[in-house]
Amino acid sequence: MAGIIIENVSKSFGETVVLSDFSSEFKDREFVTLLGPSGCGKTTMLRMIAGFEKPTAGIIRIGNRTVNAPDTFIPPEKRDIGMVFQSYAVWPHMTVFENVAYPLRIKRQDKQTVRQKVEQVLDTVHLSQYAQRIPSQLSGGQQQRVALARALVAEPQLLLLDEPLSNLDAKLRDSMRFEIKEIQKKLGITVVFVTHDQIEAMTMSDRVIVINRGVIQQMGTPSEIYRHPVNQFVADFVGKINFFDATIEEGLLTITGTGQQLDYHGPHTGNVVIGIRPENVRFASRQSDLRGKLASQFYLGDVNDCRIDIGGILMRVIAEPSTYAKYQEGDEVFLRVEDFSVFDDVGFDDHRRILT
């Protein structure tokens, strides 16, 4: 059992508040991702779970043990956690085998067991033939797998990963994403994964926690976060989106400055902001939701990335590749909007300032 309960955790360094009132519960065997722009406090949260930082306030429980509370503190070495650091932190003075064997040797397991377990885990991460190498003879991807093997070898119930893929090249990143997910399923462990990359978050997680400026913005499954972002920050940070000012009156939404209208049957009224994801807009052959003029288009092979002038403002639309040949810049186009979100107009464009 290695669920995590975080209750009202806050953390400040001196005057700077890094995390405020963070509460969440991670279930056993869940893959939870902390997602947010750099500097938002993800690493700090992870380090508090690991025991390298102490919360300024709040309680953290791992399994059925309270590890952080005002009067309790369990040091990292007693928490039974595996962790992969962003810089890998593979020890340069030990061989791959010694690196991976370290947690077992600290636990004073007998030689036979150590050898067997290390070989097994090295096999899992496809490093068996490198056991006797020293880390400086390995590539970045291989070092990262050494770090992963070392984190897994003692069979922890909880694995913490701090941007483990950010230093890898694109190809390797794709395959490691898949492998980490496989290993998690196979071993049935709880994983807390930190990243600022929304694709990693979307593809790997059971649940995503979006953080901005130390405050939880939204928690949910990847599709909930993507399809129903609760605010402009989340909508903007996860995926691509067009924002337009609009007003709602009697079931009709008018995009400000364009005169174009969409049907709307929801709770919002008055001045709002609508968000339309570029891939939720389709080209239509006759009059549909919106109308505009094709301002520019870029053929990317798998999609056609267009900008459409809908009456003084541009909207980005990601259309099927076949549309590229059909239309030309300047053509009149009809658009069908399959989905959009409505947010209260908070009066400032906060979401834009936070973007990394």
> Site residues (CB under 6 A) for ligand ADP?
13, 16, 18, 36, 38-44
Instruction: Name the residue with tokens 């339309």.
Output: 276
Residue 107 contacts which entry, ligand ADP, other proteins, Mg ion, none (Cβ below 5-8 A, type-dependent): other proteins
* Pick 155 or 249: Cβ nearer other proteins: 155
* Cα–Cα distance measured from residue 164 to residue 147, given in angstroms and rounded to the nearest whole number: 9
Binding of Mg ion by 44 (CB under 5 A): no
User: Which residue number places its CB atom closest to ligand ADP?
Assistant: 43
Instruction: Name the residue with tokens 């009156």.
Output: 249
Residue 18 contacts which entry, other proteins, Mg ion, ligand ADP, none (Cβ below 5-8 A, type-dependent): ligand ADP
Binding of other proteins by 107 (CB under 8 A): yes
Per DSSP, the three-state class of 45 is helix
Binder of other proteins out of 81, 234, 294, 308 (CB under 8 A): 81
As given in the structure block, the two tokens for residue 82 are: 């595996």
Residue 167 buriedness (CB in 10 A; 0-12 / 13-18 / 19+): middle
Instruction: Give the chain's radius of gyration (CA, Å).
Output: 24
Q: How far is the CB of 139 from Mg ion (least distance, A)?
A: 23
Residue 147 contacts which entry, ligand ADP, other proteins, Mg ion, none (Cβ below 5-8 A, type-dependent): other proteins
DSSP character string of 293-321: EEEEEEE-SS-EEEEEESSSSEEEEEE-T
Binder of other proteins out of 63, 76, 141, 311 (CB under 8 A): 76
Per DSSP, the three-state class of 43 is helix
Binder of other proteins out of 92, 188, 301, 347 (CB under 8 A): 92
* Pick 13 or 178: Cβ nearer ligand ADP: 13
Residue 115's contacts (CB-CB under 8 Å, 6 or more residues apart) are none
Residue 85 contacts which entry, other proteins, ligand ADP, Mg ion, none (Cβ below 5-8 A, type-dependent): other proteins
